[in-house]
Amino acid sequence: MNEKKGKCFSFINQGQRNESDFYQTPIPLLKLFLDVFKIKDNSVIWEPADGSGQISNYLYNNYKNNKIITSDLEDNFLYQPITKKVGYIITNPPFNLANKFILKSRAHCENSFAMLLPLSYLQGIERYNTIFNNPYDALDEKGKIFKLKYSFGLKYVYTFTRYPLLHELIRPDNKFATGMQAYSWFIFEKGFLGSFFGTWLNCHDYVVNQDDKQCKSCAYTKYIDKKLVKCILFQVNVPNWFLCSAWRQIKKIKK
């Protein structure tokens, strides 16, 4: 099935999103969130869009009193039987599948689930009608909408103070550059019905700055139109105006 993809606001892709919407989650974005999101001991936590394991590895290392299970797109979370129940789901889902991930998570979760999404996900009449204004709707393994006996509404939106630039590579020091997209953790809770509460998570200390060493070992290179392009993601002496505006200003280099 062909899925329609959302707009790409990152200068990296010039209108093209990464395959399967694969963008890794910088650990600080997860840590800051989990510092305020309380998980009960002896619960099952599911990461259904595991990718390279950034989120699940952090959970394994820091939630040893809980059972962590993982799956990825090849395991197809959307087709998992809804009899599979877990306490929590925490994930950075493919944006083009976010609606379905939320509806399907309602069918699996016993407590709450959290999705890392662009803040702009709050906007749009379709999302309002299908997600936010219908807290009883869920998705079964056949892709059909059904009604829950309980509400599963959006309770919290935790928004980062800086615009983290999500990418398919992660710096070894876990710091990140800034981009043009605001990101938030969206938390849906079983039994909640009402208006959500919004607040901030201050990620400023984790943004790459001029005092940080350049990670030459992970400088990102890729072919664009058969020419090798060195992306500035891991460069540090780059002003914000450059990051925000200028794919065309990235210097093309020969291999």
pTM: 0.79
- Considering the domain architecture, whether residues 135 and 229 belong to the same structural domain is answered as no
Query: In which domain, by residue range, is 225 found?
Result: 216-249
Residue range 107-118: mean pLDDT, rounded:
98
Print burial letters for 50-66: b (CB count within 10 Å at least 16), e (below 16).
bbeebbbbbbeeebeeb
Per-residue confidence (pLDDT) for residue 136, from 0 to 100? 98
Evaluate whether residue 254 is within a structural domain.
no
Q: Which two tokens stand for residue 130?
A: 């299908």
Per-residue confidence (pLDDT) for residue 168, from 0 to 100? 63
Residue range 45-70: mean pLDDT, rounded:
95
- Report which of 166, 162, 164 is spatially closest to residue 200, judged by C-alpha positions: 162
Q: Which residues contact 38 (CB under 8 A, 6 or more apart)?
A: none
Per-residue H/E/C for the chain? CCCCCCCCCCCCCCCCCCHHHCCCCCHHHHHHHHCCCCCCCCCEEEECCCCCCHHHHHHHHHCCCCEEEECCHHHCHHHCCCCCCEEEEEECCCHHHHHHHHHHHHHHEEEEEEEEEEHHHHCCHHHHHHHHCCCCEEECCCCCEEECCCCEEEEEEEEECCCECCCCCCCCCCCECECCCCEEEEEEEECCCCCCEEEEECCHHHECCCCCCCCHHHCCEEEECCEEEECCCCCCCCCHHHHHHCHHHCCECCC
Residues 93 and 114: their CA atoms lie apart, in Å, by: 10
Per-residue confidence (pLDDT) for residue 21, from 0 to 100? 52
- Considering the domain architecture, whether residues 134 and 227 belong to the same structural domain is answered as no
Query: For residue 127, how many other CB atoms are within 10 A of its CB?
Result: 16
Residues 68 and 66: their CA atoms lie apart, in Å, by: 6
Cα 130 versus chain centre, distance: 20
Residue range 81-99: mean pLDDT, rounded:
95
Evaluate whether residue 12 is within a structural domain.
no
Is the pLDDT reported for residue 2 higher than 70?
Answer: no
pLDDT in tens, 145-189: 999 999 999 999 999 999 998 876 778 888 988 989 999 999 999
Evaluate whether residue 142 is within a structural domain.
yes
- Considering the domain architecture, whether residues 66 and 92 belong to the same structural domain is answered as yes
Evaluate whether residue 83 is within a structural domain.
yes
- Considering the domain architecture, whether residues 126 and 227 belong to the same structural domain is answered as no
Mean pLDDT of the chain: 81
- Among 10-14, 86-90, 140-144, which stretch is predicted with the lowest mean pLDDT? 10-14
Q: Which two tokens stand for residue 157?
A: 């939106």
**Where residue 46 sits, what CATH number does that domain have?**
3.40.50.150
Provide the pLDDT confidence category of residue 215 given band limits of 50, 70 and 90.
low
Provide the pLDDT confidence category of residue 251 given band limits of 50, 70 and 90.
very low
pLDDT in tens, 16-25: 444 545 578 9
Domain count, the chain: 2
Residues 72 and 35: their CA atoms lie apart, in Å, by: 25
Residue with tokens 């040893």: 64
